[in-house]
Amino acid sequence: MTLGKAEAREIFYGMPYDDWKARHQTEADADKQAEFEKSFAANVGKER
């Protein structure tokens, strides 16, 4: 059995991934974005 990424996500999330994102994934506020940038720079590097 071969599953594509979209099919696997639909099984995992119980709905198409775009629908799940629209319902559950919200934009990060400025504080969370700043913390991400700080962590990313420390762990991955300055460039993104």
Domain range list for the chain: 5-43
pLDDT at 45: 82
Kindly state the average pLDDT of the residues 30-36: 96
- pLDDT exceeding 90 applies to what percent of the chain? 90
Give the span between the Cα atoms of 48 and 39, in whole angstroms: 12
**pLDDT tens track for 35-47:** 999 999 999 987 6
Q: pTM higher than 0.75, yes or no?
A: no
Give pLDDT, residue 47: 63
For residues 28 and 36, is the Cβ–Cβ distance under 8 A? yes
Percent of the chain with pLDDT over 70: 94
Question: Which pair of structure tokens corresponds to residue 4?
Answer: 């594509």
